[in-house]
Structure 1
Amino acid sequence: MNRQDSIGILACAQGVAQYQPKENERKSLLSEMLEVSISLINVLITKLFKRQ
């Protein structure tokens, strides 16, 4: 994993942490963001293993 990947993960995590939706929006948005974050992490992990 290079520096660019690390910065991308940190920016994504920071965006998720700082986002303050309305209560009724919160659950659906957080679940969507969680799915996106998980798929992003999966992509990075597969990239990492392919390089080794």
Structure 2
Amino acid sequence: MSTSNFTRRGLLKTSAVAGAGLALPTYLSAANHAGYTNAPQGDTVTLGFNVPQS
């Protein structure tokens, strides 16, 4: 007969490993998409806010 000893530390370790395992395919497939990021093209970047004036 085996006894199960669930601890908070064990739960945190297991959830961290499971989260990393689920996030890994997303991280690896995002590198294949060149237009996926909103990277600026050229030498200048214009920053601003869209604020309605009326």
For Structure 1 versus Structure 2, the TM-score category normalised by the shorter chain is 0.3 to 0.5
TM-score, scaled to structure 2: 0.43
Higher helix share: 1
TM-score, scaled to structure 1: 0.44
> Which one scores higher on RCO, CA 8 angstroms, separation ≥ 6?
1
